[in-house]
Structure 1
């Protein structure tokens, strides 16, 4: 990476003649605060890289895991990896030092990739919710095939690039007029401040674009996900057929009804977690961005936001990409076994092969075919996906 011109140290003896000049320290925070930022961002970066990397490895290495749902999970893991690679490091550097230390090309590329990755991640969440909604609420409709899932993923990335193109075009590195950075306490080394920002011709255009992004990357997806998962929850709770069949077929197991009920409760909890995690992780950052554009904030308020509140909001938003693999491992036995195998932690599943419910070698074939309906419901991830059969008779694709 080529460093930007702000790194060419120069002296400005004329600054004392300019009463309107503003000087800022090179390092924005004390050592203790900077260390806390570094450790916090490093933690989610490592978690994101290892967790999503293992998710990609598990899906790609095991042919039985290549289902429609897992293909969406793979795409989500890839977008989360891009968030970790391009969002976390550059945001951390931007929070630690004053000004933009990189070139104009890096400014445009980092902004594009960051927004594109986040958009693709959100759109993938919606695609998974739609797929599960069709499967559970309308189980007899044609299911999404693998080629159709690939086309959907391509459309997701095309939309992600399209919605972030205006930002990439407007992003540029510009020198801040009458703003200088102090490299030492004696004012012997100062240099002009450069900033990477969207240079819109009109502030109203920036407000409109921010509103469009908020509607398409947060508000609309969250609304759709909440509505679809709520409908799925109602469907599961209102469906009594799987419980009665399970109890009738397995009359020797009086606790059968309770087992199925526990599975339903676990699914509903997961659906609530899906909506809450997405909403809680991204709401603070979107709130700050809207406040920056629409609220008439004072200089002190802006300094407080950029120095302390924005770094935490970014960390919280990026942590959503890091926590996804943990949700997979918690709700999905297939991914849990894959993680255990990768870390050599077998925990009693040493001889088990992690497979999806649609595999010809799946453990479901070991059961009596009369006991299939409603007898196996394995959660796949935090997005409300299923593997095998669910309470409404929906079979995995």
Structure 2
């Protein structure tokens, strides 16, 4: 279900923004970038994480291990940084309405910088990711003994892993949440002051702020369990039964919750934004019309009407025929959410 939500929902978001020229605003370009990162989560992260949670050990090769961690980390980092970029754009547009706003070209270069920054932050994790067999753990199948492989970050020292986890936690979760809270707090204060001056305009903006608050809270709630488990496994000396319990029960639930955040975003877009809702309906209606036309064409070519019998020809023309412990890798599957607003300034 989460996989379908990620692919279908975010695919529709990309389609709506790319097809409609009027929706290619700065904010919607950032929304497009968020949808692309969520699509990467659905295509590359959800299947590998699901298979790794269901079977014993890591079933893929080392390249898949590195790429899985790299794509997941880059996707979630790019989503968070894009969310902050949208908040900055909204902040300057509402709190400082006479300042210079971002142009679409500037937003495009900002998106490139976001992905480069995300790559730089997650690259050490991909480099240290490797596939190795678990010591003393084997799997018996058909009277054959097989080693159990795991995908994990192999650091020279345990302190290096802890430092890296802390840095990622601050830059990808804690600091963005702090910036979002500050900027949206200033926006809410500014809107409350302007509510009496222009009531209709302020009501539209208040609806936008409500959506931003929901997006921020969903992001915080969805990713907090996974970050808590990652910090717990790095900073606590857990024994084998405890690791077995976390890997078998808590990590899969935490991953599902984090990935669900990527699939729920298009629903938020459609609920809060009229243009996206109309775009979704148009895309679905267009797909339905195309399928109906194709069915009519098939029916037409399968049952062609016979030609009229000409005078002097009395023959009718012919018709055409027609359970071992599995140490989960550091997966930061993406997702963070996004914001769909019109350029109301």
TM category (shorter chain) comes to 0.7 to 0.9
1:258-309: per-residue Cα shift (whole Å, max 9, x none)? x667545533422321221110010000000000001222322221111111
Residues 334-389 of structure 1, C-alpha deviation per residue, up to 9 Å, x if partnerless? 000001112229xxxxxxxxxxxxxxxxxxxxxxxxxxxxxxxxxxxx75564243
Q: Of 72, 76, 84, which aligns to 2:30?
A: 72
Counterpart of 1:204 (choices 159, 162, 175) is: 159
CA contact (8 A) 2:272 2:340 kept: no
* Within-5 A mapping of 1:270-309: 270-309=211-250
How far apart in 2 are the matches of 1:218 and 1:207? Answer: 16
Q: 1:192 aligns with which of 147, 152, 160?
A: 147
**Take 2:89 and 2:207, find their aligned partners in 1: how far apart are those partners?**
20
Corresponding residue of 1:53: 11
Q: In 1, are the aligned partners of 2:34 and 2:338 still within 8 Å (CA)? A: no
State the alpha-carbon separation in 2 of the partners of residues 264 and 133 from structure 1.
12
Q: Deviation of residue 142 (structure 1)?
A: 0.5
- Please give the per-residue CA displacement for 1:87-145, whole angstroms capped at 9, x wherever unaligned: 10011011001111111111111111111111111111111111111111110000101
Residue 343 of structure 1: which of 279, 284, 293 is its match? Answer: 284
Contact 1:183 1:189 in 2 (8 A): yes
Does the 8 Å contact 1:129/1:383 carry over to 2?
no
Residue ranges of structure 2 left out of the alignment (5+ in a row): 287-336
Match of 1:328 in 2: 269
Within 5 Å, give how 1:1-397 maps onto structure 2. 43-183=1-141, 188-240=143-195, 242-243=197-198, 257=199, 262-263=203-204, 265-344=206-285, 383=338, 386-389=341-344, 395=345
TM-score with structure 2 setting the length:
0.82
User: Quick one: distance in 1 between partners of 2:129 and 2:18?
Assistant: 36
Q: Give unmatched runs, 5+ long, in structure 1.
A: 1-42, 244-256, 346-381, 390-394
Structure with a larger share of its residues in helix: 2
Report the CA distance shift for 1:159/1:343 in structure 2 as closer, same or farther (over 3 A).
same
RMSD of equivalent CA atoms? 1.7
> 2-side partners of 1:203 and 1:76: how far apart?
33
Aligned length: 295
* Contact residue 137 and residue 235 of structure 1 kept, 8 A: yes
* 8 Å contact kept, 2:33–2:82: yes
**In structure 2, distance between residues paired with 1:200 and 1:154:** 30
Whole-angstrom distance in 2 between the partners of 1:79 and 1:385: 15
Distance 1:263 1:86 in 2: 37
- The 3 A distance-change label for structure 1 pair 326 and 242 is farther
- In the alignment, the residues of structure 2 paired with residue 295 and residue 388 of structure 1 have an alpha-carbon distance, to the nearest angstrom, of 47
* Contact map agreement 2:269 2:277 (CA 8 A) in 1: yes
**Which residue of structure 2 aligns with residue 36 of structure 1?**
none
Q: Secondary structure at the match of 1:343?
A: helix
> Normalized against structure 1, the TM-score is what?
0.71
Higher relative contact order, chain-length normalized (CA < 8 Å, sep 6+) = 2
